[in-house]
Structure 1
Amino acid sequence: MTGVLAGKVAVVTGANSGIGLAIAKRFAAEGARVFLAGRRQEPLDAAVAEIGPAATGVRADVSVQTDLDDLYSVVRAEAGRIDVLVANAGSAVPERLGEITEEAIDATFGTNVKGTIFTVQKALPLLSDGASIVVTGSTSTLRPGPNLEVYGASKAAVRNLVRSWALSARERKFRVNVLSPGPTETPGLAGAVGPDVHQLSSQVPLGRIGRPDEIAAAATFLASDASSFVNGADWFVDGGQAQV
């Protein structure tokens, strides 16, 4: 197998659909063995079938620590290491100030912040020297969307976590970066803003929203040795939405 990720072992969370699935597919196409984690078994099975023998699916909710233990037990038994970790699983519960519920905060921060922390922390014993960690952020850290202030706050917390983790790169021998998509045509975006996701095109200087494969291309660069001197960065793939 050839490709920029040939021979590498990758783990992608939130890989049932959307950006996570696109990343897993691109990684496999570039030669990686990919472990996909997702909360829902049926779409996870479909994703694995679509990718083929390079993919292994493990049902896991990143907000549940025992699920993460199960995920990494499978990776340890079948591959023995992790070269690329993509902490992509995320949750958004649209609620506006004055109507924000404790349940929405717990769900959003449980997945986006706690889930990200333990996805990375529990992977540490398996990370190979020079491993690349990619954490999915959001343009909402700079340009919050209406009724998504809790989500934006959770992604801002993730960005700050990566800044801190980047300081451990020398000791831990990994690189860690944030990948921040702009509006991208995914089921998750439709769930947050409604089915007409293309209404957001007016906010993007390029005049359109993104495609999952475009985010996956950037993730592949951050996962590969081509980005070997990139650490602690926030890579925006947003058509300029949060840049101008």
Structure 2
Amino acid sequence: MSHETPQTPPFHRSHVAVVTGAGSGIGRAVALELASAGWSVALAGRRVETLAETAASAGGETLSVRTDVSRPDEVDALFGAVRERYGRLDLLFNNAGTFGPRGVPLEDIGYEEWRSVVDVNVTGAFLCAQAAFRQMKEQSPQGGRIINNGSISAHTPRPGSVAYTTTKHAMTGLTKSLSLDGRPYRIACGQIDIGNAATDMTQRMRTGTPQANGELIAEPVMDVRDVARTVRHMAELPLEANVQFATVLATTMPYVGRG
């Protein structure tokens, strides 16, 4: 069950965002960037202590809600808390995700390992998008924006990444469907595909990661704040304009021509 921070009187600003996976990495960087720009930010994640660290660093108006995005009841509680606190929702950054098993041959991946990736990366993204869509459709003024965190793996896989790559390709389909179905309600949806932002998840890139030719090489990374600034740009466009897909990556990483 979700647990939110103690209730405070309703607080409203012109922009309200939900950021999932806000306790670390890209989610934290985006939450901090939005907070610095005056957004009210609801922080969602599975670890209360890391959400608290993000909230302390943000310095602005935040709401922390412990949430497992793969559980419908906890997603409902998250968006209910946002509605009660702020009265509306302008942005969902659909960021929570997991890579899944590493170094496991495809034929040896267990059903539960597969499901754990799909449940977070696909089902969780859908549940959050659905809840945001409902609120954006019903609120006045109507509308809002959903930004999905895809990956360059939504285009090109790494070796040994079947679960992650499959779910990120699915994210692209979710983005396109949300864009189409949101048109009558002023709900815009875009996707940011990120390559090698410097986070705990990409720490191994700096020491060596498998390539398609079988080699193990270190890969360059980029400052995660550059990703956050891109998300903010996408978020702050008027609803009459939309960045449908954006790719932000370390300039010299193996991507174009990978394999």
Q: TM-score range by the shorter chain?
A: 0.7 to 0.9
- Higher relative contact order (CA closer than 8 Å, sequence separation 6+): 1
- 1:168, distance to aligned residue in structure 2 (A): 1.5
Choose the corresponding residue for 2:42, options 35, 38, 45: 35
1:112 is aligned to 2:121:
yes
Cα pair distance change 1:99/1:54, threshold 3 Å? same
Cα distance in 1, alignment partners of residues 207 and 32 from structure 2? 24
Deviations 1:63-91 (A, max 9, x none): 01111111111101100111011000001
Per the TM alignment, residue 225 of structure 1 is displaced from its structure 2 partner at its CA by 2.0
**TM-score normalised to the size of structure 2?**
0.82
Partner Cα distance (1:227, 1:221) in 2: 12
What is the TM-score of this pair, normalised by structure 1? 0.87
The reply on whether 1:103 has 2:112 as its aligned counterpart is yes
Structure 1 residues 108, 30: closer, same or farther in 2, change over 3 A? Answer: same
- Residue 162 of structure 2 is aligned to residue 170 of structure 1: no
Q: Give the structure 2 partner of residue 151 of structure 1.
A: 164
Alignment map for 1:92-241 (pairs within 5 Å): 92-93=99-100, 94=102, 95-127=104-136, 129-190=142-203, 194=204, 196-197=205-206, 199=208, 208-225=220-237, 228-230=240-242, 233-240=244-251, 241=253
**Partners of 1:198 and 1:208 within 8 A in 2:** no
Q: Which amino acid aligns with 1:103?
A: E
Alpha-carbon RMSD across the aligned residues, in angstroms, is 2.1
CA deviations on 1:155-182 (whole Å, 9 max, x unpaired) are 0001111111111132221100111100
Distance in 1, Cα, partners of 2:61 & 2:45: 17
Matched, 1:73 2:80: yes
The question of whether the paired residues in 2 share the 8 Å contact of 1:11 and 1:37 is answered with yes
Consecutive aligned runs of 4 or more in structure 1 exceeding 6 Å deviation: none
How many residue pairs end up in the alignment?
Answer: 230
- Report if the CA contact (8 A) 2:206-2:220 is conserved: no
Structure whose alpha-carbon radius of gyration is higher: 2
Match of 1:225, SS state, is coil
